[in-house]
Chains A and B, each alone.
Chain A
Amino acid sequence: MAQITLDNLAHSYLPKPKGEEDYALKQLDHVWNDGEAYALLGASGCGKSTLLNIISGLLVPSRGRILFGDRDVTRADTVARNIAQVFQFPVVYDTMSVGDNLSFPLRNRGMDAAYIAARVQKVARMIGVEDMLGRKARGLTADAKQKISLGRGMVREDVNAILFDEPLTVIDPHMKWELRTQLKALHNEFGHTMIYVTHDQTEALTFADKVVVMNDGRVVQLGTPEELFDRPEHTFVGYFIGSPGMNLIDAEVSGNTADCAGHAVPLGGSYKALRGRVQIGVRPEFVTLASGEEGLPVTIRRIEDVGRHQIMRAEFAGRPLNAILPEGMSVPAGANRLKFVPERVNVYVDDWRVSPLHSVSTPAQEAV
């Protein structure tokens, strides 16, 4: 197991990249701690697979180095890196039995037979395939095959990291929960460094200790799920994470007040003069209904009842503005204004978050 260092890393698929836009993966400098579970989250084509392939050794980056512990593995191949990988589609050896599938990586490394048998038993128990060890892998369901793929990734104890490339894509929704829970349990038990690529925020947030949000070849934020929720560093994080995503409103900020199309919105802190495109962002969880003169005047479009709460779709100055209302609450007549919890309002300049001059302590998450 090892700490993974991405040193000055960048990659372009073109032989001679000219500008920054030629890079599929823009400059990266990160240290990923040993034994933590990371999720690479982003939309399709954001560069997360490129990054994964660089870590797994399928791609040599155009620039920079990658280190496992102290060892430079930039040019080392997959085998030398001693990693395991689980792919998007289940990869099983059809003609082998389930047990042979699980033991294959160990047998190829010439491990001791008794050790292999014990290890296979243990992994089989973890992923719940003990009763089919003797069965041929051919003809199993996609769920079962993917479980075997997971098991084969897990079977070696000494791997530096286990990489997951959207491993639950082909799995039925009800099985996703189960497999993800198992993965989490496996991570807690074995303590491998895990890197999990996904475009599904729920998967990323429930699985990972740290989420790496990527957009357009760039890592826009690396943080715990709470940090991504409370303080999205980039408007992309705000809108990509959360359901619905963060509301963004063009504003002019002076001191501790934002001016949105002529309406004042109180902020949680004071800001110095800002230049560029200034927006305020607030999650729908921290938007409340009001009437009278306070708050932003909105046009309410519709209310969606999603069970645990209701989503109100409204419009302010021609832009959508969403709010999450408690379950069962009905909108009182005359309520056509929305207020924000001031401490929960973030300020963005050209899509990047700026901190207030004096920092405000984040309140406990009461409204989540």
Chain B
Amino acid sequence: MDKVQNNKAWFLVLPVLLLVAFSAVIPLMTVVNYSVQDTFGNNVFFWEGLTWFQEVLTSKQVHAALGRQLMFSAIILAIQIPLGIAVALCMPKRGVWASVCLVLMALPLLIPWNVVGTIWQILGRTDIGLLGYVLDQLGISWNYSRNALHAWIIVVVMDVWHWTSLVALLAYAGLQSIPQAYYQAARIDQASRWKVFRYIELPKMAGVLLIAILLRFMDSFMIYTEPFVVTGGGPGTATSFLSIDLVKLALGQFDLGPAAAFSIMYFLVILLVCWVFYTVMTNLDKAEGR
């Protein structure tokens, strides 16, 4: 059949265009709009150009928050990825216990963020929380609302508790896809346990691990609810990560211009990281398929 040119067909994509416009483009443009203007109320706006961007980029407060944020993401990745792999390696491969493990592992993932925050907020308290009480009784002067290190520890441990299962489940799926023949061949080749991990398990898990790293990085980079519930960003600004700072700026101080500029750059950073990961992953796929 010959193809007929008919420009009316464009009307068919109109619903999608409208939907995307309302769900993404218009909200984003509102933010862009705020980011280049200033207001003193009464809906009167003044053109400010790139002033807010400059202000955010040179702000010591933002630099410090970005530093804390990167540090947090680095720490949780450094703990969760190896720990998740280790847990996956220890999980039974089949049978009833495999199912039991899977269900138990999936539980933390199903708990809403603010509930997780509340659980750990209470758990860490010295008066009514089990963890805080035990530490206190052991003679450790534990106080996560005063001591910055303690605040970091509880936020990191909470995130590890909440999200290591995700890494473990992904790694477990990767391990399960390895045919038994590989292990038999390795035994016949007299490969040590380490070499089995290094040359069979790790390469076969590489794909899912990359996805795990991407997911965990993005999530930890955008983390808000849990530290907000547990520490409120404190003590001082010790656990104020980017999104906590952003909310303070936008809703606390109502600095719409700087907050909008901040949001846009935050968004661009995440987009950039996504793009880098995507490129790496597709290259890896290509290398695999070659």
Contacts and interface: CB of A to CB of B under 8 A. Distances in A.
B195 interface: yes
The A contact surface, by secondary structure, is loop
A87 B187 contact: no
Interface stretch (A91-99, A190-198, A262-270): A91-99
Contacts of B173: none
Contact of B188 (A79, A88, A138): A79
Nearest to A165: B181
A84 interface: yes
Interface residues of A, number: 24
Interface in A15-73: 56, 58
A85 B204 CA distance: 21
Given A93-B200, A95-B199, A95-B203, A78 B287 contact: no
Contacts of B199: 93, 95-96
A13 to B, nearest CB: 16
A108 B184 contact: no
B181 A83 contact: no
Interface in A80-119: 83-85, 87-89, 91, 93-96, 104-105, 108-109
Interface in B170-220: 179, 181-182, 184-185, 187-192, 195, 199-200, 203-204
Q: Which of B185, B190, B192, B195 has the most CB of A within 10 A?
A: B185
A152 interface: yes
B203 A94 contact: yes
Contacts of B2: none
A139 interface: yes
Contacts of A109: 190
Interface in B236-290: 287-290
Contacts of A89: 179, 181
B184 A78 contact: yes
Given A88-B181, A91-B185, A139-B290, A79 B190 contact: yes
Given A95-B199, A96-B199, A139-B289, A85 B188 contact: yes
Contacts of A77: 187
B205 to A, nearest CB: 12
A138 B287 contact: yes
Contacts of A91: 179, 181-182, 185
30 contacts: A56-B184, A56-B188, A58-B184, A77-B187, A78-B188, A79-B188, A79-B190, A84-B188, A85-B184, A85-B185, A87-B184, A89-B179, A91-B179, A91-B181, A91-B182, A91-B185, A93-B200, A94-B203, A94-B204, A95-B203, A96-B199, A104-B189, A104-B191, A105-B190, A108-B195, A138-B288, A139-B288, A139-B289, A149-B185, A152-B185
Interface of A: 56, 58, 77-79, 83-85, 87-89, 91, 93-96, 104-105, 108-109, 138-139, 149, 152
